[in-house]
Structure 1
């Protein structure tokens, strides 16, 4: 999503989250304080999780109502007020004057000016979190990026985005544990609800997208020590079966994993057969899902209902 032009109307939570995310990127590129950067990224996550428009919250309770929100301090609340009332955020404009998305990407090790321009043009992304997510999808084919270079760039992005502030040194391992099943179900439900409401940023995948349209909703989330990215499946199988608005791919990485470049992946689907037919399940972990539903019958019923909707 492109940042709104100065004096453009800013009224949605997704627009505000995009501007805050852009500012966090600029702070990171300038080597800013990592706690301040994480504060902005945390605010973006909290705004994405809101069920009410920030404009409505401001209108009803003023700036104090914004400050009362989790993850929104006085400084960020003031920025939100400025965006909603003036249609711009001067602080961001001043910092962004000399740092376009291409120049921002060029600050990542392994990305030069030519490749940075190509990333912006070919992938249609403008923020570091979205660049990281698209490169991790595996379907982003960009001239000049092979497997090794992609891995190096992703490692640089993970460090820049401060994904692993508590990471410990230790032996490399290629396996990481899966998050609690309840957390994956919660992420799946939140993602599909936000996607259905049009409250998520859209990216333009390279595969099965000849017109280059930005149609794929993406959600970045942090919870219980896990960094998570969720998006609908864009595989050939999903398209052939008409499940691109049902299958949700969740990428996850723990904060404390000794190797920041390693991540796990889970695919959430609506089961079409067997005793779990109509329920949301984690593909490859159906038995564990059945046990989870047995302990929480109400969760199974609500998940099944949402599953039929497809997000």
Structure 2
């Protein structure tokens, strides 16, 4: 009963939907032998949201924390500002008069740009986690339609569902829809611009958070960028940041943290966090295949394989590591 006010404030769903959520949560909890708590109810709402969005989007279930991230201080500070704008927008917009004076809308939006594996999606997960929101990754390739008016209809459904489910929207690879258009050559170009204007209007009126991600910030129209509240660049990690990433991504249960030269590994392999994560998993696969616990050589081998698969020039490894 104590959960009801909090859940009612977060999720705008009708009596029938509430009953379905509770029944499903109870069924899953019974099967798992766990109580019907806030986590069970939230998971049930997330499954319902995934079903209603269909092929347009998926709920990101893993909620990351700031402590897990290795980012420059200025990026972390900007993420905190984004979170504060959502939490304090009633004071900023209404009590302080910014909405009336500057015409600022309630929607909070951001552009996360950077190379693959630099932490854009994880940062969005951190923001959602801090704000207690569901995070929904939208597949723009499934949303955009060649039929006139169909894209706006799909986008409308996404924003309506996200509003009701208290969800944060993550538009991956946004350049596919928001790329620069220097001139309108065809009717299709004009419809594409209408779609962009539509989604911008919905983002501004959406009582939530919308984040666009791109691997190429320069491909996003500057006029669009000006209409977003935050623009955060995720740079490739420096040497000390790569060393921290290796330490944090390697599970403590491996017993390799003491005595292993993470600095040498980070210095030899210039990889982003996403690729370092892949290398750590590859090291575990190598150890499991050999039927033994992980050893230092497995980490070097995992990094080597990942580097080669990235198409990088392979640095010379210490003798005996492969």
The TM-score normalised by the length of structure 1 is 0.26
Higher Rg of the two aligned structures: 2
Answer 1 or 2: higher relative contact order, Cα 8 Å, separation at least 6.
2
The TM-score normalised by the length of structure 2 is 0.25
Higher helix share: 2
